[in-house]
Amino acid sequence: MRSNRVLNVVNAHCEGEIGNVIIGGIGQVQGETMFDKKLWFEENYDQVRELMLFEPRAAVWHNVNAIVPSNSPEAAMGYIILETTEYPAMSGSNTICVATVLLETGILPMTEPVTELTLEAPVGLVRLRCECENGKVTKVTFTNQPAFCYARDTMVEVEGIGTVRVDVAFGGMTFAMVEAQDLGFSLSPGEARELCDVGERIKLATAEQVPVAYPGNPDMPGITNFEWMGPLRRDADGDLAAKCTVVVSPGRCDRSPCGTGTSARLALLHARGDIEVGESFTHESITGSTFSAQIEGTAKVGRYDAVIPQVGGQAWITGLSQMTLDPTDPYPHGFTLSDTWFGIEAGARG
């Protein structure tokens, strides 16, 4: 077998959302911080993202993570998150996949019943509590970087839809957020295609009409995600709960409740006075999977009042594989087709 590149991959998903992990074959990634490494990777190694996520090797609903050493003395390891249209600074489901792979494969030592772990994501240090039993990670709870609201109850004009009430919040990624019932959605699986179509249109309009800038980091992306919010309710135990659907570009539903989307929603709920520090919150995805969450404390990010989110869920390893690139393969950068890759320029890539 001839190959220009061989990547060793552990396949995994977190609550239904694929988050595969590259554990070997990347090579050296330059940069002092993980955010620096992310920028360098995007500039120099973007073919890895294309190889791992584009057709004919993958699909629009795949994500992947590259394990790289961290320069922080506090972090056991670092990771760069690769998604279909961007390199996020943070992703909750991907973080849970990374921690699970690192511990279950023995790359980092596992201590039962709890392994305390610090990893470095591009957003910064992420502290994790990994519950473990019989060599299996049964739950990962991570403390995210502070989440906050950029704008609340902002009226956005969307062509073909009209005026839409939008909130904008940062939870590791920046979300345009809309109450699903405002547009008549119940967030059922049968609505998924329409939720994506409408959500992408609202997100693009919001990004044009509500400019945002992350305090102290001009390289942090603006609004790149969209979140539909179901009604807040009390579950059988009396705890707060709600459904959600996050629309991931170029236009598909997150299969998990989305860790950064959950963090953004905690920030919005706290700003509205709907949740207190330490109060339990369950976020449910369109597939029925759930994350447990709460606010650990409060903080400031520039001029914004912020919360420190804790989010918990579980990941499962689904296989081990090697991704290879034959030097005669006509699609070394993969390709996209608009039947599934909605909203982006489609076609073969040489």
What are the catalytic residues? 91
Q: Which residues of 107-126 are buried (b: 16+ CB within 10 A; e: fewer)?
A: ebebeeeebebbbbbbbbbb
d(CA 112, CA 36): 34
Cβ atoms within 10 Å of 347's Cβ, excluding its own: 10
Q: 340 vs 14, 122, 199, CA distance in Å?
A: 22, 29, 16
Q: 252 forms bridges with which residues in the sheet?
A: 248
Tell me the Cα Rg of the chain. Answer: 19
**Kind plus residue range of the DSSP H or E element containing 259:** helix 259-272
Q: Quick check: 119 and 95 in contact, CB under 8 A?
A: yes
Q: 130: Cβ–Cβ under 8 A, 6 or more apart, which residues?
A: 99, 100, 103, 110, 114, 115, 116, 117, 137, 139, 140, 141
**Phi and psi angles of residue 129, each rounded to the nearest 5 degrees, phi first:** -115, 110
